Structure 1
Amino acid sequence: MQVSDEKLRQILLERERLQNPPQSTEKATGVGIARFIVSCNDVRAVLDLAKEVLITVNNHSTQNWPSLDEWSNVLPSQFVDGFLPEPTEKEREKQIQNWGGLSYEEKLTEASNDNKWTLSSWLSWLEPDEREWFWWNAVLFDAPLNNSHFIIEVTALDSPFMSGALKWLFKACGAEEVISEDDL
């Protein structure tokens, strides 16, 4: 698996930030920080599962990329169970043909769609050389009774970037809604 130097650098920086949040004085990598508001019933459960998934993906990003079956076994079942069944070969060919006919702007719109995803389509956006965003931080609200919202911050390599896989990460972890700060 060949990964560009910049993406490998971002993967290694993300690995550190998943374990230790950045200092408030730390300068963002990429083109800057994008923020998303995540609404859910249990902030800690959703955030912990999302981080577990990203840590697993990140750890495999510097090795041979696992097969779909291997991913199904190494990712938490609670997460994997949130995906649609995989399409048949004929359905996949039609999807590829339709995708190829879209302009970049249409692909941005389609990729920001937060309808249910298949595991293979989600993983395709997390492959090391396809990544456009990387974990920066999670900001929890200080109110003791607010256990229903938090902010996720990612550093992006392009602006705008295809955020659908990011949104689906949290949806598959139990979030009810994920809204980009730019959409407010």
Structure 2
Amino acid sequence: MGIVEVLARGGAGGVEVLGRSRAVLLEVLEHSGPGWPTVEEWRSILPPWFVAACGPEMRREDAERWMAWWRTLGPADKARVESERRWTLADWLYWLMPSERQWFWWDAKVGRDDTLRVSIEVMGWPTALGALDWLLRAAGAVEVFHEENLLH
């Protein structure tokens, strides 16, 4: 267990990114009980700006073609492409399901430099944080990165 700091900056500004991110996560938490909604139900539950920010759903053939192309890239290009890619709503929701989510929002603060610093609790490291990164980017952040402060 430990704490990871996720920093988000640029774009809309820390206060706006924080407010928008919290609005989305509050809806997810409110609907995380038994009977996880369908993707179509989530489209009407989540804020319209978030749904609109998500990328279009891909057909299986398109996803396989994209993955084959992505695997040809070097590590730096893979990281760049992933940081620029818009997540589909279905992919994002999968990683927010209670059975899949590996992190828990602990605290958040906006610094003097307008950087949003989100503290999340993780069960171990490495942890899948792509869904959180996408949420912050969809909420208006241009740059998202992690600082590990894990407890051993």
The TM-score, its normalising length taken from structure 1, stands at 0.67
Shift of 1:36: 1.2
Identity %: 34
CA distance in 2, matches of 1:154, 1:127: 17
1:123 match? 93
Cα deviation, 1:20-78, whole Å, max 9, x if unaligned, reads xxxxxxxxxxx011001110332221111100111111111113111111111110011
1:174 match? 140
Gaps of 5+ in 1: 1-30
1:35 correspondence with 2:35: no
Shift of 1:79: 1.0
Return the match for 2:46 from 44, 62, 75: 75
Counterparts of residues 124-139 of structure 1 (less than 5 Å) = 124-139=94-109
1:65 match? 36
Q: Is the 8 A contact 1:37 1:180 kept in 2?
A: yes
Q: Is the 8 A contact 2:94 2:100 kept in 1?
A: yes
Q: Counting strand residues as a fraction of each chain, which structure ranks higher?
A: 2
Gaps of 5+ in 2: none
Q: Is the 8 A contact 2:53 2:138 kept in 1?
A: yes
Q: Tell me how many residue pairs correspond in the alignment.
A: 137
The CA RMSD over aligned residues, in Å, is 2.3
CA distance in 2, matches of 1:158, 1:49: 27
Shift of 1:116: 1.5
Residue identity matched to 1:164 = G
Shift of 1:163: 1.2
Return the match for 2:110 from 115, 125, 140: 140
Cα deviation, 1:119-169, whole Å, max 9, x if unaligned, reads 11111101110010010000222x3xx3x3120111012211011111001
Residue identity matched to 2:13 = D
CA distance in 2, matches of 1:130, 1:169: 16
Aligned to 2:53, the other structure's residue is in SS state coil
CA distance in 1, matches of 2:101, 2:116: 23
